Amino acid sequence: MALPIVAINPVAVLAAAIVGYIVGFVWYGPLFGKAWMRLMKLDPKNMKKEGMAGKMVVGFIATVVMTYVLAYMLAATQATVFADALMTGFMIWLGFFAATMLGQVLWEGKPTKLYALNVLHYLVVLLVASAVIAYV
């Protein structure tokens, strides 16, 4: 069975990616940045030395890819109404982020608090991105 051919609004994808990236900037910055660095055992001084610009560019590209796939899934499932888009974003989060990222706790020994911080970030990003794509 072939994937359905659907129309994807590139403006909506880019807008959702920008908004999602801003959410990440705020989430891992002023809101939970210190807690995240502590849980990851990172030294802020070393992070500045590593050069964040390149990582931020790659991170944004990854966010564009994620929002493109989200837009595809919303179009393929015909989830164009706000509530349907949010439910689709939630289900994608539940099945592909919450479930799979749990392996970081189970097999990598990462703290449960770090899992919660990271996975909730993706919940917010997917819900906001779903809303933007449905609206634009």
Asked whether residue 113 is domain-assigned, the answer is yes
Structure token pair of residue 115 = 């899992």
Q: How much of the chain exceeds pLDDT 70, in percent?
A: 98
Asked whether residue 109 is domain-assigned, the answer is yes
For the chain, how many structural domains are there in total?
1
| Global confidence as pTM | 0.92
Domain with 78, as residue range(s), is: 10-135
Asked whether residue 85 is domain-assigned, the answer is yes
For residue 81, the SS3 value is coil
- What pLDDT was estimated at residue 49? 63
Asked whether residue 70 is domain-assigned, the answer is yes
Q: Phi and psi for 43 in degrees, rounded to 5?
A: -100, 120
Asked whether residue 28 is domain-assigned, the answer is yes
Q: How much of the chain exceeds pLDDT 90, in percent?
A: 85
49-89 pLDDT, tens per residue? 677 888 899 999 999 999 999 999 999 999 989 999 999 99
Asked whether residue 68 is domain-assigned, the answer is yes
Residue range 38-56: mean pLDDT, rounded: 82
